[in-house]
Amino acid sequence: MKMDQKERRKFQKKIKELEKIKGRGTELISLYIPPDHNVNQEVTRLKTEYSEAANIKSKSTRKHVQSAIKTILQSLKGVNELPENGIAIFAGYVDEENEVKKEIITPPEKVQVNLYNCDDKFELEPLKKLVESKEKYGVVAIDSKNATIAKLKGKHMEIIQSFGSQVPSKHTKGGWSQRRFERIIKQAKHEHYKKAANIINKEFQDDEIKGLIIGGPGQAKDKIDSDEYLNKKIRNKVLGKVSTGYADESGIKEIMEKAQDLIQDLEVQKEREIIDKFMKKITGSETATYGLKQVANALKKGKVETLLLSEDMNWKKAKIKCPECGEEKEEIIKDKKEFKKQGIICPECEEEREVIEEKDVAEKLEELAEETGAETKYISTDTDKGQQFHNAFGGIGAILRYT
């Protein structure tokens, strides 16, 4: 099953939520079961782990670990066949909620590992690998002697071609002979760059190639990035150039290491630009707005051009009900911990209210954006500007088509 952009963001958000959960000790359990694994064998292993947990010295840790294992066993009760991609189950005691939290995830791709892990945090690396960037990039390592051309997808590299040039070695002859050899060297370099450029122009013209990174130890990387060799479409894809020690496969690997940062920097730059545009409009005109009510109204009227949402904005629209007086109402829960402290008690009969329905606010806004043809941009909080957007504007903003 291939994730679309919306599903990928939803999956990444769930990973972030699990990442924030911390145990007081080794109380959080992560379980990954591949689709072809025998469920009964897993149940047997969990029962063994439950028995061994009885030896844990700390009474509270022992209780929490056994409760988490018991919760997972209950989830697997009656399960004879796993989903086609397997399953990931996370369970553990969470202080903030004063209970054992459980999360069952059906991954978008096949689980490759059978893993049981008990730690102070959930083991999420297998899930993170599933949402690594699947976009493809072109990578070129070149100097006057060698050229290596490859494709990069996530962290996987595929060499397309690697070849040497016909450029002769340096010489010490002078006079007419020296000028003649200089012309030979110049022509050989030209043929070498031309050969590399022909491959690059052919292999990376597809729209699936999102960018091109060129590296090498000398000036060849600058030389080939010109109208003389690369066509306009390819030159527009050049994301940057990096210096490497070699132009062979080791040079490609060196570029790969630097490429991840380069691609990330470019994404950060795009994010800065969209926030700057929002800030400029919010202070200088009326073609931007922020806040849940204002943005939702603008979306419903079709005014929104770009919807901006913070990745850390985790608001819920909840329907709550008092089991005693039956009163129902809707509330926006911005902080579950704070809500439990202040808002869960019914003001009429002082009974504890129940959350009977819960919807993610960001997802609802994104649905409205899709319906009205607005673009949605998620803003990370890894940068100062992203933090400012989240803290100052609540993580909800919009650039408008018109006022």
Query: What average pLDDT is seen over the chain?
Result: 87
Confidence label for 359 from pLDDT (cuts 50, 70 and 90): confident
How much of the chain, in percent, has pLDDT values that exceed 90? 54
CA dihedral of residues 391, 396, 397, 403 (deg, nearest 10):
-130
φ, ψ for residue 359, nearest 5 deg:
-130, 145
The pLDDT of 261-271, averaged and rounded, is 76
Share of the chain above pLDDT 70, in %: 92
* Cβ neighbours of residue 315 closer than 8 Å, sequence gap 6 or more: 292, 332, 333, 334, 360, 361, 362
With a CB cutoff of 8 Å and minimum separation 6, the contacts of 215 are: 139, 140, 141, 142, 221, 241, 242, 243, 244, 251, 252, 254, 255, 258
Q: In this predicted model, what pLDDT tens digit does every residue of 24-66 receive, in sequence order? A: 888 999 999 999 999 999 999 999 999 999 999 999 999 999 9
Residue 68 pLDDT more than 60? yes
Domain 136-263 has CATH 3.30.420.60: yes
Name the pLDDT band for 148 (thresholds 50, 70, 90): very high
Q: Enumerate the CATH 3.30.1330.30 domain ranges in the chain, comma separated.
A: 288-400
* Start-end of CATH 3.30.960.10 domains in the chain: 5-130
- State the pLDDT at residue 97: 67
Most confident of 79-83, 148-152, 177-181, 339-343: 148-152
The answer to whether residue 300 scores a pLDDT higher than 60 is yes
Angle between helices 361-371 and 292-300 (to 10 degrees): 20
Both tokens of residue 26?
Answer: 């080794």
pLDDT at 5 (0 to 100):
67
As a whole number of angstroms, the distance between CA 135 and CA 256 comes to 14
Q: Which of 226, 182, 204, 379 shows the shortest CA–CA distance to 290?
A: 379
Tokens of 190: 């030209």
Q: For residue 343, what pLDDT band results from cuts at 50, 70 and 90?
A: low
Give 5-130's CATH code, choosing from 3.30.960.10, 3.40.50.970, 3.40.50.720, 3.20.20.80: 3.30.960.10
User: How many residues are recorded in the chain?
Assistant: 403
Question: Confidence class of residue 266 from pLDDT cuts 50, 70 and 90?
Answer: confident
Asked whether the beta carbons of 262 and 239 are under 8 A apart, the reply is yes
Q: Which of 3.10.290.10, 3.30.300.210, 3.40.50.720, 3.30.1330.30 is the CATH number of 288-400?
A: 3.30.1330.30
Residue 2's pLDDT is 60
pLDDT band at 267, cuts 50/70/90? Answer: confident
User: Average of pLDDT values for 135-155?
Assistant: 89
Range(s) of the chain covered by CATH 3.30.420.60: 136-263
Q: Is 249 in contact with 152 (CB distance < 8 Å)? A: no
pLDDT higher than threshold 80 for residue 290: yes
**Distance from C-alpha of 182 to C-alpha of 246, rounded to nearest angstrom:** 24
Asked if residues 170 and 185 have their Cβ atoms less than 8 Å apart, the reply is no
CB crowding 196-223: b at 16 or more within 10 Å, else e = bbeebeebbeeeebbbbbbbbbeebbeb
Cβ neighbours of 315 (radius 10 Å): 19
pLDDT at 154 over 80: no
Q: Is the pLDDT of residue 175 over 60?
A: no
Is the confidence at residue 70, as pLDDT, over 60? yes
Q: Which two tokens stand for residue 399?
A: 């650039």
Give dist(CA 370, CA 362) in Å, integer: 12
Residue 12 confidence (pLDDT) = 83
Q: What is the pLDDT of residue 356?
A: 80
Band (403; pLDDT cuts 50, 70, 90): confident
